[in-house]
Structure 1
């Protein structure tokens, strides 16, 4: 068992309070704090200390993958920790984006390597050859755009604004009510003539401000467009966002994003668990590189983005059901002074404390214990068996999928 030192990513859309408060650091923070990374991703691997020497978790795994990951996981994932756990704190909207599946990632990574695009180049899309499915569990009400609307809803939300330029798109969706037609409408908006994008976005924001005040089934989506425009004025992504389902996750609800599912996080704090990748294909609401042709190519308009509730599998242990091999997310809850066996099947795990504190014990050795408090996380390698928590609070566990 190893306590982890983790990197906070200072992306511009991050909160100045959520992660600082979790870590017990001065709040508000001077710079935005968007994500707290826990894992072995090469861009920001966690740090651990063994025998008085600090090393990255990535280096420790590379030195002894069979010992740290277990022979089964090491063989299946090429000696790589297959998941990355994060605390995500969004104060502003993230980009409209999607992620590739494994085959798409491998082809895209090889293609950009062959073209000589540097890994740190602004225009690089595929920074590794892994897929990036992900699950987000809300810690507070979390506002998201996730998956494409039905054609009928998309037509209604566009028509509801009364913007002339959008009427042909709405009419086309009524003529062809298929998911693919909604995907084509999204592509049409994202490929809108550059010289006309700002004026269309301005017209949509003005109309959305009026319609959001009138109530109705799409008032919240219109209001989101108005709020996002404060940070992304003139961005065609504001218009395109109307084709996505607008939702607010309640604390404890989770959203699963499979490959090809278009989404954008608007505002909130949550736990995010994903495959150990940083492949993001963006199409709007960002200053980062946008690649609309690649997003349109990878987009799966039929992919579902389900809202998941945790399923209790034993006292104090709830699992969010996903069918991806790279990860599985569980929530552990301890009443004061309770003892709980940490789930595990011989693979690597990362355990994060969100509230409270607990003693983490491994086996029967009294020396093999550490104290995990709010904001702290630890790595449990494959050799760490019979792990128990004693204390109180709420914890999230990341492990390899079935």
Structure 2
């Protein structure tokens, strides 16, 4: 089975007005277009072109969700739970009688939500993971040595993070000071502070960003965001691949509910040296395969056959993909199962492992 699929862009306020239309080769309509969901998630299952019903009718429920994501402004700082944390939290909130759609509910389902982002724009900017405190101190001390005096070692990260989310009056003063410093400071970290302060003035996430890696992905590079990883997408167009879950715990850059105690339970404060996900090469394919995620992203260039023994989703960026008399030309989206698909051009494939 090989079919063409489609879906309507979702108009979240942070979406870009131009990036998805440019990808699809259509005129912008002036509205923000944030995401196109590709898959079987009940929130927005893909439609099958030329048929009634949606993709669930053909392949059942996929164990992953793929999105075309276009960030025009920064998204909220957030983290996702492990499977065990999601199961416990979902059961606890059910027992407490909290409606699943309540704005203060943390766990919408009992599943983890590992995710990765693969850059389609020439530059995709994100915050991802705590960096070693020695790196943060180098950035801070170059402009204001006394800033965040309690942050001296990696072990200080949990207390510093908790204090920044405490609502203490001194936090507002630090946010204002950091915002002022950033106006004349150089480097990616300070560029991120300026961006966040412009969109979320006074938010503690402005300072939290200095604890994290500012990552600038080039076209074709990727990030992996495992459970417990604090992250936020800042700008750019990418392919996001994730577990089919809605569990999000926010910690800043948002007017939505922030549950600090629950957030502190799930955040992983272990610093990471470099959060980028390097691809392996197999049979001429670039393979992005995060350990334990349960899915992988493949990039194919040129001509080849793809054996889709299990359901796979295809994003045809250049050229075409065809099988069983069906052709999906760029820019377009396809779904395959129990089929050999001929690829010619640049195609990105998501599949379970």
Q: Normalized against structure 2, the TM-score is what?
A: 0.92
User: 1:229-266: per-residue Cα shift (whole Å, max 9, x none)?
Assistant: 11101111101111001121111111111111111111
Q: Does 1:330 align with 2:331?
A: no
After superposition, residues 302-341 of structure 1 pair within 5 angstroms as 302=270, 304=272, 306-315=275-284, 317-334=285-302, 338=303, 340-341=304-305
Question: Mind listing any 5+ residue stretches in structure 2 that lack a counterpart?
Answer: none
Figure out how many residues of one structure are paired with residues of the other and give that number: 350
Query: Which residue of 1 is the match for residue 144 of structure 2?
Result: 162
Query: In 2, Cα distance between the equivalents of 1:87 and 1:156?
Result: 36
Shift of residue 82 of structure 1?
0.5
Query: Which residue of 1 is the match for residue 179 of structure 2?
Result: 205
RMSD: 2.0
Query: Which residue of 1 is the match for residue 315 of structure 2?
Result: 352
Label 1:117 to 1:202 Cα distance change in 2 as closer, same or farther (>3 A): same
> Are 1:155 and 1:169, in contact at CA under 8 Å, matched by a contact in 2?
no
Query: In 2, Cα distance between the equivalents of 1:394 and 1:230?
Result: 37
Aligned with residue 223 of structure 2, among 245, 255, 268: 255
Q: Does 1:153 align with 2:127?
A: no
> Are 2:114 and 2:293, in contact at CA under 8 Å, matched by a contact in 1?
no
Query: Which residue of 2 is the match for residue 232 of structure 1?
Result: 200
Query: Which residue of 2 is the match for residue 183 of structure 1?
Result: 158
Shift of residue 397 of structure 1?
0.3
Shift of residue 61 of structure 1?
4.0
Query: Which residue of 2 is the match for residue 67 of structure 1?
Result: none
Shift of residue 156 of structure 1?
3.1
Query: In 2, Cα distance between the equivalents of 1:343 and 1:307?
Result: 28
Shift of residue 21 of structure 1?
1.7
User: Which range moves more in the overlay, 9-18 or 288-297?
Assistant: 288-297
Query: Which residue of 2 is the match for residue 397 of structure 1?
Result: 349
Aligned to 1:230, the other structure's residue is in SS state: helix
Query: In 2, Cα distance between the equivalents of 1:134 and 1:321?
Result: 11
Higher helix share: 1
Query: In 2, Cα distance between the equivalents of 1:288 and 1:343?
Result: 43
Q: Normalized against structure 1, the TM-score is what?
A: 0.82
Label 1:160 to 1:115 Cα distance change in 2 as closer, same or farther (>3 A): farther
Label 1:296 to 1:2 Cα distance change in 2 as closer, same or farther (>3 A): same
Query: Which residue of 2 is the match for residue 386 of structure 1?
Result: 340
Structure possessing the higher radius of gyration over alpha carbons = 1
Aligned to 1:110, the other structure's residue is in SS state: helix
Query: In 1, Cα distance between the equivalents of 2:321 and 2:237?
Result: 26
After superposition, residues 362-377 of structure 1 pair within 5 angstroms as 368-377=324-333
Shift of residue 320 of structure 1?
1.1
> Are 1:320 and 1:328, in contact at CA under 8 Å, matched by a contact in 2?
yes
Label 1:324 to 1:9 Cα distance change in 2 as closer, same or farther (>3 A): farther
Aligned to 1:26, the other structure's residue is in SS state: coil
